Structure 1
Amino acid sequence: MKWDQSFSIGCDVVDSQHKELVCLVDQLESSLESGLAPHQLGEALKFVVNYTRHHFAAEEAFMETIGFDELENHKKLHGNLIKEVTDILLRLKHGENLSPEDLVKFLVDWVLKHVQEEDQKIGVFTRNRKHVAEQAECRLKAETSRRKLTLARMEKLKDLFKQKLIEIEDFKEQKVRIFTNMLKELGLNQLRAGFDDLHYFLSQNVICHNELRAVVVAFLQKSDLQKGLSEIIEIENKLLYLRSFHEFEMITDSQFDDCKAKILDAL
């Protein structure tokens, strides 16, 4: 199986991820005749697990941004694929042998039925709404790049801890600092994007609820509320910023009400 333009949906980030899947299928198909080595099968399964976690999130974010009208149905299809992958892993965990042929068939069906059929509906929708899709793709590229950078920093930190070069207290402190710096680098005018990133990492079990809270509190403690409100342009980000101070009990109810009234008066 080779990649060609018939697989493209018109979003570079999603297309690039689809290319990785097609490339894997091609490599496995080519290796079947000579026999797949155990490590190839293991790497393929590792790829599939990571793929279902990160690719589906990226694809769904793109669909949501462009207003794709079959988003909910597509999410259900993703859910079914995740269930199939989970079932394969459970079978292996319980000692059942998985033949290379079965894995390749699963991946081929995935590409032919999902990428070439269902995902092409996204492509048609994208071409019909080119301007909106281009803006969505730019945001998705920035988001993907930003999250990869943060994950790379986390992997480096984990590596230092595994090598016993830092203590657990250092690890926890630096972990909060990594995500706090992520918010700082984005800036107040992209606060919504930063909070979306935090909740994405929460959904992927990269951080827990307590760590998310610690990150937001650490970020807000280094901010001046009034100065921040004057710097933020969009009213949505102003209200999000203000609500964060209130949610984490860093301002009183009366301060919150006064600031909110001033923001709404500017409408």
Structure 2
Amino acid sequence: MKEPTLTRMQESVSSLKKDFIEWSDALSVGVEEVDQQHKGLAQMVNELNGAIHGGWGKETRDDIIVKLLEYTRVHFATEESLMSISNYPHLKEHKKQHENLIDIVKAYVKKYNENPEASNYEFLFFLKRWLVEHIMKDDKLMGEYLIKTGSVKTKKPTSWWGGLRKPFGH
């Protein structure tokens, strides 16, 4: 086995610094509370990735998964409340997707409890794919509906010009 060179060690550290799920405006659904929660979910998946790659052990992995599961439930309750209040026409299907994810995560937890040596990467990549696809497809539709129906306030203007126009009544 080769000794790690400084270059290889730096490359390894730099690859750990890069987020597994990188947040961008492309993932925004336009609803501030939902976007903030999505950022939190992405950060927890990134934390899980760090734990797995860093070899932090089963206990740490399990703690992160429990925290992720609880936060996910809170997030889903937020979305489902917004959809219910606004009479979102796809609430039933959207809620079913949420329930399916919770069931899948519970199955992974059971798998890890039965076999602590089971691969974490399958779960990690599943979470990333599910979260990004769900946000890009289903949550964006929900966000558009909530904004179109006036059920939520849109984000504040991000440009300095947009911020200037508001005080002058434009």
Classify the TM-score, shorter chain.
0.5 to 0.7
Please, which of 105, 123, 129 is the counterpart of residue 103 of structure 1?
123
Check the 8 A contact 1:48/1:85 in 2, yes or no.
no
In the alignment, structure 1 residue 82 sits paired with structure 2 residue 137: no
Q: Judging changes above 3 Å, is the alpha-carbon distance between structure 1 residues 30 and 97 closer, same or farther for their aligned structure 2 residues?
A: closer
Unaligned runs of 5+ in 2: 1-20, 155-170
How does 1:211-250 map onto structure 2 within 5 Å? none
Deviates more, 1:83-92 or 1:68-77: 83-92
Write the distance in 2 (CA, Å) between the matches of 1:82 and 1:34.
26
Q: Decide whether the 8 Å contact of 1:9 with 1:126 is kept in 2.
A: no
Cα distance, 1:56 vs. partner? 1.1
> For the residues of structure 2 that align with 1:39 and 1:96, how far apart are their CA atoms?
10
Is 2:111 the counterpart of 1:67? Answer: no
Provide TM-score, normalisation by structure 1: 0.45
Q: Specify the alignment match of 2:153 in structure 1.
A: 134
1:118-267 paired onto structure 2 within 5 Å: 118-129=138-149, 131-134=150-153
Aligned length in residues: 134
Q: Give the structure-2-normalised TM-score.
A: 0.67
**Code of the aligned partner of 1:59:** E
For residue 160 of structure 2, what is the aligned residue in structure 1? none
The CA deviation string for residues 50-105 of structure 1, in whole angstroms up to 9 with x for no partner, is 02322111110011112211111101111111110121122233345332212211
Correspondence for 2:39:
19
1:9 partnered with 2:29? yes
Distance apart, 1:32 and its partner CA: 5.0
Identity level (%): 28
Report the equivalent of 2:12.
none
- Please list every run of 5 or more consecutive structure 1 residues that lacks an aligned counterpart in the other structure: 136-267
Deviation at 1:15, TM superposition (A): 1.6
Residues of 2 paired with 1:90 and 1:38: CA distance? 13
Q: 2:58–2:116: 8 Å Cα contact kept in structure 1?
A: no
The 2-side partners of 1:58 and 1:127 are apart by 16
> Which sits farther off after the overlay, 87-96 or 120-129?
87-96
Q: 2 CA distance for matches of 1:88 and 1:30?
A: 18
Q: 1:36 to 1:108 in 2, by over 3 A?
A: farther
Superposition CA RMSD, Å: 2.3
Which has the greater radius of gyration? 1
Match for residue 58 of structure 1? 78
Q: Which amino acid aligns with 2:138?
A: E
**Residue 153 of structure 2 aligns to which amino acid in structure 1?**
E
Tell me whether 1:113 sits opposite 2:129 in the alignment: no
Relative contact order: is structure 1 or structure 2 higher (C-alpha 8 Å, sep ≥ 6)?
2
Structure in which a larger fraction of residues adopt helix: 1
Counterpart for residue 155 of structure 1: none
Partner amino acid, structure 2, of 1:72: K
CA contact (8 A) 1:36 1:100 kept: no
1:121 Cα offset (Å)? 0.9
Deviation at 1:34, TM superposition (A): 4.2
Residues 99, 36 of structure 1: alpha-carbon distance in 2 compared, 3 angstrom cutoff: farther
Cα contact 2:41–2:72 (8 A) shared by 1: no
SS of the equivalent of 2:40 reads helix
Q: Deviations over 1:172-199 (max 9, x none)?
A: xxxxxxxxxxxxxxxxxxxxxxxxxxxx
- In structure 1, what is the Cα distance between the partners aligned to 2:81 and 2:111? 31
Counterpart amino acid of residue 124 in structure 1: E
State the alpha-carbon separation in 2 of the partners of residues 84 and 114 from structure 1: 15
